[in-house]
Chain A
Amino acid sequence: MIRIIVACLCLGASSASLADLKPEPIRQVQTLPEQYPAHWIIAQDAAFFHMSDGKFIVLDADRDSISEQYKGMFNGAQIAQFAQAHSRPEMYVVQTFHSLGHRGVRNDVLSVYDKRTLAPLADIVVPPKRASILPTQYALQLVDDEKLALIFNFTPATTVSVVDLDKREFLNEVPIPGCALIYPTGKRGFSSLCSEGTFLTVALDDAGGVASSTRSKQFFNADVDAVFEKPAIQGRNANFLTFKGRVIPVDLSGDLPVIGESWSLPEIEAGNWRPGGLTPAVMSANGKMYVLMHAEGKTDTHKDPGTEVWVFDPRTHKRERQIELALPAVSIELTRDTNPLLVVTTIEMNIDVYDANKGTKLRTISDFGQETPLLLHGAH
């Protein structure tokens, strides 16, 4: 009772003695840190119902309120593709514009965004050929200590545009006939997956030209058991999964890919569990492979959402854990630390956040202006 009285007195006193609100400066704009905290993510929203307004939304997945989660956003038009630098505070978006909005002259640009301001630093004009393809990590990649950006083109002939990120200019276009996408290989090269089940590996010279172009032996047959074009990659170590649940380890650290002994995901037979989704597998910082799994898998279920995430040790080929998802997911991603968050795009197009080590669901991030955030990126 005394406390209430005191409070009332205080209130009365304070309202009398409160200074007027000060005028605030206008034109204040927030900035972000140069290195994003480990639990920030970038949601890539191609906005399929409004594709000229695609977005990349920077979110703090540790927080519970939208004002704490939403750090900012930047744009990418007509199903843009995305890459982050690790060595400098830049992010890259390759996107398409027409001079009159939905029509007129087509312009493709590689936009360089500043991580601190989310403002464009440069828009590098590239040939108007980039593949308009469902968001994937492997249509835009960085090589040569992040000096070169590589863009996958589809006209339907397939080529790769080479862009010098230091000079901010397009260098060259490299043919990759019959092959697709970009998996950085060695110091200044890349491999692409080819129709007949091989890799085409291109080593670049310092002008972005072709130093060598080499096809591997056949290592899969798409008509029998296709590989997902979205491997789980850690550094230059890739694990390519097949639709039927085989794992093909590929070492991309040398000049040419070294294709390792394949193994089968264990414990998938009972219930016909299969990997699937739009992003079926990712590696954690401590070398575990997280795979989005669905039951009753068969022909043509390879993009079905998964109801569980299985955690494998690629060294022992053992399944270590199963994470049952609260809601089926189409894409999965891990944050970069060793205490990572597992973030997933659910079939409701929200983001569910799990403690990856414990397998417990922490929260749902929703109502952040998203339409179709089909690909998630752990921030760097």
Chain B
Amino acid sequence: MKWLDSLVESKARGLAQQTSRRGFLGQVAAIVGGGAALVPLLPVARGEQSSSLQAGEKGDPNSCDYWRYCAIDGFLCNCCGGTPNSCPPGTEMSPITWIGTCENPVDGKHYLISYNDCCGKSSCGSCLCQRNEGDLPVYRPQKANDLNWCLGTKSAVYNCSTAVVVGKAPDK
């Protein structure tokens, strides 16, 4: 799901928020919270190494800052009963999606990330993230940030977003 970008909802302030870019949400926190509540209330980290992670990566997959989410927009499936690369029970993963690259801070390599949406149940509502890195308008759909990618699924209803590692970018 790439189209929830720009969404800043007061509810979201109690959920995971983007901290790497002092953009949208940073401004909200700064202005609404008057500075005092600037640090977003991230969900409680479940330790450095989640069981859903591979050996060569680390970080908190409940946080928008997690490396795989560098261009994610929507609700993190990891907070919705799924994992970074699997859907919550009873939903269907869209086969059609958009793909970008993110840098894994552990090995410094760029990996191909497939942001498949999970579909067939209504909005999860947990861990809303938006990061606009590389986003372009819908005339460039393979980079477009505004679309619901529940395409080719039985239901077009969006639930949450995954970030599946599907390959590695060539070494420069």
Contacts and interface: CB of A to CB of B under 8 A. Distances in A.
Contacts of A158: 141
A228 interface: yes
Contacts of A305: 6, 8, 24, 27
A330 B8 contact: yes
A133 B139 contact: no
B120 interface: yes
A133 B9 contact: no
Interface stretch (B40-48, B108-116, B149-157): B149-157
B147 to A, nearest CB: 5
B138 A278 contact: no
A106 B154 CA distance: 9
A245 interface: no
B141 A374 contact: no
A180 B137 contact: yes
Interface string B10-29: 11000000000101100110
B39 interface: no
Q: Number of contact residues on B: which range applies?
A: 35 or more
A347 B137 contact: no
Interface stretch (A44-52, A110-118, A263-271, A336-344): A44-52
Given A50-B123, A51-B122, A131-B138, A349 B10 contact: yes
B139 A103 contact: no
Contact of B156 (A78, A278, A328): A78
A222 B143 CA distance: 11
Contact of A222 (B24, B133, B136, B150): B136
17 contacts: A78-B157, A79-B148, A103-B120, A132-B150, A133-B3, A180-B141, A192-B139, A222-B137, A277-B6, A301-B23, A302-B135, A303-B24, A303-B132, A305-B27, A330-B6, A348-B28, A349-B9
